[in-house]
Amino acid sequence: MKRYKLLLNGTWQDSENHLLVVDPASEKPFAEVAVVDRPEVKKAIEDSDAAFRAWRSLTAKERGDYLREIAAQLDRRADEMAEIIVRENGKPLAQAKGEVAMSIDHLLWFAEEGRRAYGRVVPHQAQGKRHMVMKQPVGVVGAIAPWNFPLVLAVRKVAPALVAGCTVLLKPASATPLSACLLAECIDAAGLPAGVFQLVIGSAPEIGAEMLENPLCRKISFTGSTSVGRSLIEGAAQTCTGLSLELGGNAPVIVFEDADFEQALDGVMITKFRNNGQSCIASNRIYIQRSVFDKYQEALCSRIKELTVGPGLTDRVDVGALIDRKALDTALAFIEDATAGGAQVLTGGVRSGETGSFLTPTLLTEIPPGAKCSQEEIFAPVAALYVFDTEEEVIERANDTEYGLAAYVFTSDLNRAFRVSEALEAGTIGVNDPVPSTSNCPFGGYKQSGWGRELGSEGIDAYLETKHISIAGIK
């Protein structure tokens, strides 16, 4: 079994205990990774702080050149990286390749964006004064990533933090540490100075507690569940550690009767089934206008039945294994809860095969009020259909959630597209667009979906302090 080490202060470190990495398609362990304990996390934060002084004094162009080199290393190992993502996460290979390509694009975007971390000169109000506003790196950053997009969601933090002049400790999810190990190899091969980027894997509560309580760690950037996000907020209340939070979602999709029918079908299939339904921006509630509901439901059902389920490395697989057995059981419980209240299962609804955490892609309809699948994140290939009558009604129902990460609208009426987009309470709106995320636009949530934004020109702000320098006595 291959063993992976951790990059700590410029050296590759092994440990006595190891974390086993399980392939969700076979449910068998296939690799092991070194782990750190809390004193080692403390040491890593101290090393990170020591490395910060020299790293921050480089020019943004020099740091951007390092990012370009990391992107080149990742590109060189793109196939290997995609395969590792599939083995640890279960998604289809083509989608893992897309994740690698997007990660490279993020690195290249932030390599340039670092040079645009502008301050400003502000007109003075008192004679003899001058005012400058400048942006400076916050310092040591703890980056905590989830398992659903194990590479790209880590890169979304690491790239802007590094280019801003911060040093970074990356903590990937325990289920998917290997893509982070390969990313660390790419970063090491790009020649970053010791301590600028480090990889820590181990007990999440211990690593999180050290990041929160160690005053040298100035910022935590977290992507994951709203419940863990809340616990970080509680911890940060004691230390005032800065937090950026990308949390859960419950995305509505609204298909109006004037939508291009085929486009709306293709779109919903992508929003729901991409990444095995385990995407924070996956559609959770699919609202179809009454006049097209029956036709749409029938067409969607046929499309779902055509999906091929299987191990992600197998040719032409559309839906792979869920991350683990618990995720499969949770999905089955959502289905059971809905059907107990009267929902109909039009296709799927059961486990697929006897090995691996595969779920047959599922279509639920006639969902009763109060069903859990309407209120909580399903995070599985389960499409839940709802009928609506008017624009006003559907906007109210779409916004009736504690989350606000993404929402989708399918319509061919431009006026309606603007009206509805402006009324929806979500950080990203896809109008006839099932894949709205891109390196150059901000991404993040309203309400309990998080604090702050990643990507775009906003994506670097999270890693910068704003300083005002006032000079008096100028004659």
Residue 405 as a binder of ligand NAP (CB under 6 A): the answer is yes
Q: Considering the complex, what minimum distance in angstroms separates the CB of residue 447 from ligand NAP?
A: 12
Q: Considering the complex, what minimum distance in angstroms separates the CB of residue 125 from ligand NAP?
A: 41
The three-point CA angle 445-372-370 to 5° equals 105
Q: Considering the complex, what minimum distance in angstroms separates the CB of residue 113 from ligand NAP?
A: 19
Site for ligand NAP in 113-152 (CB under 6 A): 144-148
Residue 231 as a binder of ligand NAP (CB under 6 A): the answer is yes
Residue 181 as a binder of ligand NAP (CB under 6 A): the answer is no
Residue 246 as a binder of ligand NAP (CB under 6 A): the answer is yes
Quick one: which of 98, 224, 252, 267 contacts ligand NAP (CB under 6 A)?
224
**Closest C-alpha among 305, 378, 308, 389 to residue 348:** 305
SS3 (DSSP) at 370: coil
Per the CB < 8 A criterion, the answer to whether 333 and 350 are in contact is no
Residue 412: which residues within 8 A CB-CB, separation 6 or more? 258, 259, 260
CB-facing half-sphere around the CA of 311: CA atoms within 13 A: 14
Binding span for ligand NAP by CB under 6 A among 8-16, 27-35, 224-232, 359-367: 224-232
- Using CB under 6 A as the binding criterion, the count of chain residues that bind ligand NAP stands at 29
- Alpha-carbon distance of 130 to 308, in angstroms, equals 65
Q: To 10 degrees, the CA torsion angle through 384, 272, 421, 389? A: -30
Q: Helices (DSSP H) in 149-288: which residue ranges?
A: 152-164, 178-189, 204-213, 226-239, 261-273
Catalytic center residues: 246, 280
Residue 356 as a binder of ligand NAP (CB under 6 A): the answer is no
- Alpha-carbon distance of 114 to 136, in angstroms, equals 11
- Alpha-carbon distance of 450 to 452, in angstroms, equals 7
Residue 74 as a binder of ligand NAP (CB under 6 A): the answer is no
Quick one: which of 205, 215, 353, 368 contacts ligand NAP (CB under 6 A)?
205
Residue 382 as a binder of ligand NAP (CB under 6 A): the answer is no
Binding span for ligand NAP by CB under 6 A among 38-46, 120-128, 243-251, 299-307: 243-251
Closer residue to ligand NAP (CB): 136 or 174: 174
Residue 330 as a binder of ligand NAP (CB under 6 A): the answer is no
What does each C-alpha distance from 167 to 142, 306, 385 come to in angstroms?
A: 9, 47, 45
Residue 373 as a binder of ligand NAP (CB under 6 A): the answer is no
Binding span for ligand NAP by CB under 6 A among 92-100, 104-112, 247-255, 352-360: 247-255
Closer residue to ligand NAP (CB): 386 or 446: 446
Which 3-state string (H, E, C) describes 83-110? HHHHHHHCCCHHHHHHHHHHHHHHHHHH
Site for ligand NAP in 266-285 (CB under 6 A): 280
Residue 377 as a binder of ligand NAP (CB under 6 A): the answer is yes
Binding span for ligand NAP by CB under 6 A among 119-127, 201-209, 306-314, 363-371: 201-209
Burial 124-149 (b: 16+ CB within 10 A, else e): eeeeeeeeeeebbbbbbbbbbbbbbb
Quick one: which of 71, 84, 143, 247 contacts ligand NAP (CB under 6 A)?
247
Q: Considering the complex, what minimum distance in angstroms separates the CB of residue 54 from ligand NAP?
A: 28
- H/E element, 74: helix 60-76
Tokens of 188: 């090491």
Interface residue list for ligand NAP (CB under 6 A): 144-148, 153, 171-175, 204-205, 208, 223-225, 228, 231, 246-249, 280, 377, 405, 445, 449-450
